[in-house]
Structure 1
Amino acid sequence: MLRRALSATGWWLRDHLGLVLLVLLLLPAAALTALRLSDPAWGPAVRLTSFVPLALPLYAAALVVAGVRHARWRARVRLVPVVLATAGLAAHAWWVAPFWLGPNPPAARGADALVVVTANLYQGEGDALGLVALASAEEADLLVVNEITGPALRRMRAAGIDDVLPYAIGRPEQDPVVGTMVFSRVPLSEPRRLDTPLASYKVDVGGPGGLTLLAVHPSAPLDAEAWRRDHDTVRRAAVRGGADLVVGDLNATLDHAPLRRLVDAGYRDAVELGNAGFQPTWPENGLFGPLSFLPALVPIDHVMVGEDLAVRSVRTVALGGTDHRAVVAELARQ
């Protein structure tokens, strides 16, 4: 009896394998699409939104399965998954296309380059010496460092950060995830700290005629309400303060509604504006618990530029000891 039941199950799976595969592909893809179209308030849904781009290969695979198995289905039956997969694929392609295509306004003729580097040091455990070497090699003008600690700052100073970028604001904090600092080639104004639990600052760079920078680190979406509140704080500070740059670990991607609201306020991700392709920054270096085998999948570290800045180039750079890749962007005035 058991053998007969198993045999029947095997025959059913063989005859319906395409349908099973389509369900396994289309359900998670559709869930990711729904997250992209909404503004979820539930923490796990917010975190899952970070992986919205994975819907693209799911929809593509569903189209392949539908094409291979279509001969076994009636026309009306096979039309449904084909339409769903095609619509989903088109929507997600539209959302990611600006990373490769779209207008990138040129810099003004003769405009000086502004090189911005941002890195999260993973509670001070990241390669501080390597970060100083990166800032020096890239001839950085601004370096924004999240999760900087006292020991990490001492290592950076021992590596010569004060010679590379002699001006600095911010400080390490007792909690290793809280500290944020800005290092600069030119003088910085007295900073104003934003009302976020993780240190974020508004600071003027270079005096009159210079730039206004927000060096930020909104909360991670472990607490979705706090995360959303921090993004509202950052957006208001950027708009009201006329910030030219919003830089740091934003703990959000362009698929998250709060970051898209910053885009609607006039700021563009340098990676997208520069047509630099999809450049994820997290998780890196195997620091993701049981999923440590995964490569970086999620772009949560950003250089967001105002309407007066052009992007000449941007890329991410591996940095030892941290779960984030650094971002290096070369900008200039339009």
Structure 2
Amino acid sequence: MRARGVVLGLAALVVLAPAAFLTVVRATDPGSGRLIRAESFTPLALPAYAVVLVVALLVLVLARRRGGGRGRGVAGAGPALVALVALVGLVLHAVWFAPRLLGANPPPADGARTLVVMTANLYAGHADGIELVRTASEEDVDVLVVEEVTTEELADMEAAGLADLFPFRIGEAHALDADGTMVFSRTLLGTAEPVDTGHESWLVRVTDPDVGDALTLLVVHPYAPTEPAQWRADHAAIRAAVEDADPDLVVGDFNATLDHPPMRALGDLGLRSVAELANEGWQPTWPSNGIRGLLGVGLPPLVQIDHVLVGRRLAALGTHTVDVPGTDHRAVVAEVARK
């Protein structure tokens, strides 16, 4: 009995407590920077609750067998309570996560041409610009959005044939900082209008005769919630731009997951993640390439903060992430088409 208690106690301490913490954070949407960042990990509570539930049920079954089918009283109350908490948490997180796997996805119009969009955060110029251009070519990208592009990295991209693939562009690279956001396109781009975020964000029209009328594209890069006031202000500016322009595509490094209030607010305005619409599930994009670590061990991607969102005029065909060497983000490639 003591061994079962030790196992259950460890499961509750190591797995259940962090999962319950994520549940409280997701349910309350706190305002501090650390808790905003913690909310990014909300999907990880789903498997955590599942593990705790299985362990608790196993302990209950063993208790009943050894107790001659009784398994009740104080000895059985602990595992039963843990199982109940885990079950409630599992159901709640399943409800939050379900839209990424289930739901209607309106089809494209007959004969509509596919538009391929890619977004990549270049980690303040540390990404491999040559490999980025090669990947964009292999993925047959029509519109490439990059954040944190520096002048040195842009030169590398030019050397790899960037202008041949994408003859049209807006935005500027910066010498050293992470502010530069640019859009490269195979087809004509209209005049770009800046959006008032800490890093550069742009509103621009993309003209493609094969797609139909020009598409309105909003590319975004708000501050990370390490500066929560700026993060909230940036997302308020993005929401205002969406309300004013009714964009067809909103693309970039949002520094927010679908669980965060600003992303849910964009959903209320009719924008949906391509990954969610296409029922592609969880596609974490940060961290990448082992650049971020814990106790000397590189972490795999754990949070999904890079997104391609579509408005009511576009259908989502599919999306996936790709590795770009040198950056701490995985790039997102999405396929969309006119409805």
Q: TM-score per shorter chain, which class?
A: over 0.9
Name the CA distance, whole Å, in 2 between partners of 1:15 and 1:180: 54
Q: Does 1:116 align with 2:117?
A: yes
Q: Residue 235 of structure 1: CA displacement? A: 1.1
Determine the structure 2 residue equivalent to 1:131: 132
Determine the structure 1 residue equivalent to 2:257: 253
TM-score, normalising length: structure 1: 0.92
Q: Does the 8 A contact of 2:274 with 2:317 survive in 1?
A: no
TM-score, normalising length: structure 2: 0.91
For residue 316 of structure 1, what is the amino acid of its counterpart?
T
**Number of residue pairs matched?**
324
Name the CA distance, whole Å, in 2 between partners of 1:34 and 1:44: 14
Q: Does the 8 A contact of 1:283 with 1:295 survive in 2?
A: yes
After superposition, residues 288-307 of structure 1 pair within 5 angstroms as 288-290=292-294, 292-307=297-312
Q: Does 1:82 align with 2:87?
A: no
For residue 217 of structure 2, what is the amino acid of its counterpart?
L
After superposition, residues 1-334 of structure 1 pair within 5 angstroms as 15-70=5-60, 71=63, 74=73, 75-206=76-207, 209-290=213-294, 292-334=297-339
Q: Does the 8 A contact of 2:112 with 2:338 survive in 1?
A: yes
Q: Residue 265 of structure 1: CA displacement? A: 1.0
Name the CA distance, whole Å, in 2 between partners of 1:67 and 1:321: 44
Q: Relative to 1, partners in 2 of residues 1:69 and 1:263: Cα closer, same or farther, differing over 3 Å?
A: same
Name the CA distance, whole Å, in 1 between partners of 2:98 and 2:202: 32
Q: Does the 8 A contact of 2:152 with 2:175 survive in 1?
A: no
For residue 125 of structure 1, what is the amino acid of its counterpart?
H
- For residues 180-217 of structure 1, give each alpha carbon's deviation from its aligned partner in whole angstroms, at most 9, with x where no partner exists: 00001111111111111100001111189211111110
- For residues 67-117 of structure 1, give each alpha carbon's deviation from its aligned partner in whole angstroms, at most 9, with x where no partner exists: 122226635444322221111101111222222221111100001111101
> Equivalent residue of 1:209, what SS?
strand
For residue 177 of structure 1, what is the amino acid of its counterpart?
A
Q: Does the 8 A contact of 1:120 with 1:322 survive in 2?
A: yes
Q: Relative to 1, partners in 2 of residues 1:234 and 1:175: Cα closer, same or farther, differing over 3 Å?
A: farther
Q: Residue 15 of structure 1: CA displacement? A: 4.4
Q: Does the 8 A contact of 1:22 with 1:66 survive in 2?
A: no
Q: Does the 8 A contact of 1:191 with 1:203 survive in 2?
A: yes
CA RMSD of aligned residues (A): 1.8
Name the CA distance, whole Å, in 2 between partners of 1:18 and 1:280: 30
For residue 287 of structure 1, what is the amino acid of its counterpart?
I
Name the CA distance, whole Å, in 2 between partners of 1:182 and 1:302: 15
Q: Does the 8 A contact of 2:8 with 2:79 survive in 1?
A: no
Q: Residue 158 of structure 1: CA displacement? A: 0.9
For residue 32 of structure 2, what is the amino acid of its counterpart?
W
Q: Does the 8 A contact of 1:38 with 1:257 survive in 2?
A: no
For residue 134 of structure 2, what is the amino acid of its counterpart?
A
Name the CA distance, whole Å, in 2 between partners of 1:166 and 1:21: 56
For residue 153 of structure 1, what is the amino acid of its counterpart?
L
> Equivalent residue of 1:172, what SS?
coil
For residue 330 of structure 2, what is the amino acid of its counterpart?
R
- For residues 228-273 of structure 1, give each alpha carbon's deviation from its aligned partner in whole angstroms, at most 9, with x where no partner exists: 1111111110121111111001011011111111111110011111
Name the CA distance, whole Å, in 1 between partners of 2:6 and 2:98: 35
> Equivalent residue of 1:198, what SS?
coil
Q: Residue 285 of structure 1: CA displacement? A: 0.5
Q: Residue 61 of structure 1: CA displacement? A: 1.5
For residue 93 of structure 1, what is the amino acid of its counterpart?
A
Q: Does the 8 A contact of 2:173 with 2:182 survive in 1?
A: yes
Name the CA distance, whole Å, in 2 between partners of 1:315 and 1:185: 21
Q: Residue 289 of structure 1: CA displacement? A: 4.1
Name the CA distance, whole Å, in 1 between partners of 2:5 and 2:193: 65
Name the CA distance, whole Å, in 1 between partners of 2:322 and 2:280: 13
Q: Residue 134 of structure 1: CA displacement? A: 1.7
Name the CA distance, whole Å, in 1 between partners of 2:54 and 2:213: 55
Q: Does the 8 A contact of 1:22 with 1:65 survive in 2?
A: no
Q: Does the 8 A contact of 1:146 with 1:181 survive in 2?
A: yes
For residue 326 of structure 2, what is the amino acid of its counterpart?
G
Q: Relative to 1, partners in 2 of residues 1:164 and 1:67: Cα closer, same or farther, differing over 3 Å?
A: same
> Equivalent residue of 1:115, what SS?
strand
